[in-house]
Amino acid sequence: MTTHVQLSNHSLWPASKWRQLVVRLGRQLGLIAEQAPALPPTRRQQLLAAQDRRRAEQRRVSELARSRH
């Protein structure tokens, strides 16, 4: 006889569902800011955001150069 219950790997509620619930509860309790993302950004999202920032910076530099001429 085993002294512990074997938990199945496939639960009825996936991890993402639990995470959503925890985030919602945290927001209701004021522990999590409303604008905080529910999930941390993926590596790809971080890379795309960095690209966007670089492009914006280059655009600013080129506009400055144009306005000086």
Report if residue 52 sits inside a domain: yes
Q: Find where tokens 């938990």 sit.
A: 7
Report if residue 58 sits inside a domain: yes
pTM of the model: 0.41
- Total domains present in the chain: 1
Report if residue 66 sits inside a domain: yes
pLDDT value at residue 23: 83
Which residue range forms the structural domain that includes residue 46?
Answer: 41-69
Report if residue 63 sits inside a domain: yes
Full pLDDT tens readout for the chain, 69 residues:
566 666 556 667 778 888 888 888 888 888 777 776 667 778 998 999 999 999 999 999 999 999 887
pLDDT value at residue 56: 95
Written as six digits, the tokens of 54 are 């670089």
Report if residue 69 sits inside a domain: yes
Report if residue 14 sits inside a domain: no
Q: What is the DSSP string of the chain?
A: --SSPPPPSS-SS-HHHHHHHHHHHHHHTTSS-TTS-SSPPPHHHHHHHHHHHHHHHHHHHHHHHHHH-
pLDDT digits (tens, 9 = 90+) for 43-52: 998 999 999 9
CA nearest to 24, candidates 34, 14, 15: 34
Report if residue 54 sits inside a domain: yes
Report if residue 50 sits inside a domain: yes
